Structure 1
């Protein structure tokens, strides 16, 4: 039995028999630039155990392209071998970014087919894979629109706007204004598709530049005006959404609708972003951009402020003994304080902290 047959049947015993006969058999395959490796065959057939054995013996096979320009993960996606895709991802998270034929990565392929569950796993494993582009300069967002995967597009937009890792704000602005091979941004594509809700979703993002021109030297507004001359009222709705949208009306609309409760991560990411989320995402992003020394200084200041506030709460003005206590209690307390001066010292120390709290508060 040759290696191809062994991979198709998932026969790991036959694999090791082939290695015993020729210890360099896997190395010989690896030296061929474009070849169907046993891992490619196992991936297309869904032979998980065999595929994991090959991944252990020859990890480089996972990034190799066959004669058709596909990696094993591409083939697993093509044939719906979802469990095998996730197992490959566990071993090497970077496989999400390996580009095959046409510059299409596994993330692009999952986007094209609207595989939201896989997209969640891909972005969790490798967040920066969202910035990869195909040979046609299409991002995953462009691919979603071109294939009319609007739910997928909404998910990707939501994920991008909620991200708060280092350079997240820069990445959001870059991708939302990215131009494909024809110079079209996401806003251009949404207008060309005559999809008002998609246009609304895009213009909700304040980092979107509505004045970018495509290869035909047209902005999104100019595209709409051209369509209006040809007739139809759908374009008028889109024009109104673009031209009349402002930050004030956007904030008012978001405040009037609270953040919905969502049961799943993919649903939450696709949901509308509230004004409160926008605030803390902004703060987190700014915090991530700070240097380590600045961040440490802020943490020290915050800790001191919290400590001072806590100590002030433990030592309120007038002490913990109240005037309405009965005589017996007051007498017992006096004897306790006299016999144990350390408690008095503790009160004085607490009062000192309380004074520090007043100084920080500026009173």
Structure 2
């Protein structure tokens, strides 16, 4: 654990067979521990005394080389490779070699040593059919990718190797939006940009059909310069449907064109009705505001202005009953200013109950999808906001000292009046809208004429 070579030599003098017994009841050998902690001198002495430790595996199937490569301890990697370079090809319980672990962790120097001692280690695949290239890209290790590409530069087939899902390293880089890796693969390898994975998608199609990102345009330009096809399968299907729809609409368009020529009117304009989920947005906004108001109102009821008494006070120091007793946990404001306390609690309770009513209506499952029901909920919300505004005013007056209250009073009242006035204007406007809807619904007012989606604007005749 300390990496002390001196203590190791003393222990070996006392018991030359200690290395045979040191790991008999442990998972890791002393060499595993030295490789994990980076004690290169200690590891070198262990290998000199007992070289076969380099081939020992722990319960996870990992050798000391696995640990040293994952940590990037280059000196220990060299010593282990000098003893047994074939350990580069050993898979641990997760199906990974030391080279795979170095690629995942981005330990470029250790990776370079592994490739130099055992070049064929680059061809070993994981249980999922992934090469070191795949693992480098998956974990965004550009340095490891460059080192591996240089080692297999002459093997175009291996650069285009696909994992069990049929993905090449370019598929993975595009899916993870790794722009630098995409540029490197395109400019420095003979990667096939139009290769398809097991689902039949090219790298360009993964980009076009995946989630949007700010780097999409740059990635698309890189792929197009490399010769990637612009049109994806999904786009081609959509385009073929558009062509069919155009062909089906052609007789109707020809007829419209003939009418235009006869009437000498302006071109026909199609008004596309945009779908807006107005009610859905209103419901979401109401739920958020109602939840916030209910939370604040609940907190205010438990912590009223002025706080609560911290101890009982029923008798004085002589044991005589006091004139104004109180008990711990009760509101201070209730004793000092009962009228304002009642106003505060009534208004706060009104805001709390109104907010809970909104939440209950929204989660009740009742058919609240029509505008009239949404207006009812908005009215309740206005009641909650108005009550909460008044609650704030009462609390502010209560906790403000008298010498500041005179100046604060005028400003607060003006602000309060402006706020309530805005609420009143919005409330009045919606009441008028509801009245107009009611009058139209029952025939007292002629309803608005519905405009067709296809209309013709006629020019005025001077005659």
Q: 1:193 aligns with which of 169, 173, 176?
A: 176
Contact 1:194 1:234 in 2 (8 A): no
Q: Does 1:127 align with 2:119?
A: yes
**Partners of 1:210 and 1:72 in 2: CA distance:** 39
Offset of residue 82 of structure 1: 3.4
TM-score, with normalisation over the residues of structure 1? 0.52
Q: Does 1:215 align with 2:198?
A: yes
TM-score, with normalisation over the residues of structure 2? 0.42
Give the structure 2 partner of residue 224 of structure 1: 207
Q: Does 1:83 align with 2:71?
A: no
Q: Secondary structure at the match of 1:68?
A: coil
**Partners of 2:171 and 2:200 in 1: CA distance:** 12
Q: Write out per-residue CA displacement over residues 244-279 of structure 1, whole angstroms, 9 at most, x where no aligned residue.
A: 69xxxxxxxxxxxxxxxxxxxxxxxxxxxxxxxxxx
Q: 2:226 aligns with which of 242, 265, 268?
A: 242
Larger Rg: 2
Q: 1:93-242 maps to which residues of 2 (within 5 A)?
A: 93-161=85-153, 169=154, 172-204=155-187, 207-227=190-210, 233-242=217-226
Q: Write out per-residue CA displacement over residues 32-69 of structure 1, whole angstroms, 9 at most, x where no aligned residue.
A: 9x932232233334444443343244433212221233
How many residue pairs match? The answer is 228
**Partners of 1:57 and 1:238 in 2: CA distance:** 55
**Partners of 1:200 and 1:5 in 2: CA distance:** 45
From the superposition, tell whether residues 159 and 12 of structure 1 become closer, same or farther in structure 2 (CA, over 3 Å): same
Structure 2: gaps (5+ residues): 230-463
Which of 1 and 2 has higher RCO (CA within 8 Å, sep 6+)? 1
Q: Does 1:62 align with 2:45?
A: no
**Partners of 1:204 and 1:235 in 2: CA distance:** 13
Q: Write out per-residue CA displacement over residues 159-190 of structure 1, whole angstroms, 9 at most, x where no aligned residue.
A: 321xxxxxxx4xx2232111123221012112
Q: Write out per-residue CA displacement over residues 88-126 of structure 1, whole angstroms, 9 at most, x where no aligned residue.
A: 223222333332242222222222222222222222222
Offset of residue 228 of structure 1: 8.9
**Partners of 1:114 and 1:229 in 2: CA distance:** 28
Which piece of structure 1 moves more, 73-82 or 226-235?
Answer: 226-235
Give the structure 2 partner of residue 13 of structure 1: 10
Offset of residue 235 of structure 1: 4.7
Structure 1: gaps (5+ residues): 162-168, 246-363
Give the structure 2 partner of residue 358 of structure 1: none
**Partners of 1:201 and 1:181 in 2: CA distance:** 24
Q: Secondary structure at the match of 1:243?
A: coil
Q: Does 1:71 align with 2:63?
A: yes
Give the structure 2 partner of residue 359 of structure 1: none
Contact 1:227 1:235 in 2 (8 A): no
**Partners of 2:68 and 2:75 in 1: CA distance:** 9
From the superposition, tell whether residues 122 and 77 of structure 1 become closer, same or farther in structure 2 (CA, over 3 Å): closer
From the superposition, tell whether residues 199 and 9 of structure 1 become closer, same or farther in structure 2 (CA, over 3 Å): same
From the superposition, tell whether residues 8 and 210 of structure 1 become closer, same or farther in structure 2 (CA, over 3 Å): same
Q: Does 1:26 align with 2:20?
A: yes
**Partners of 2:117 and 2:126 in 1: CA distance:** 20
From the superposition, tell whether residues 114 and 217 of structure 1 become closer, same or farther in structure 2 (CA, over 3 Å): same
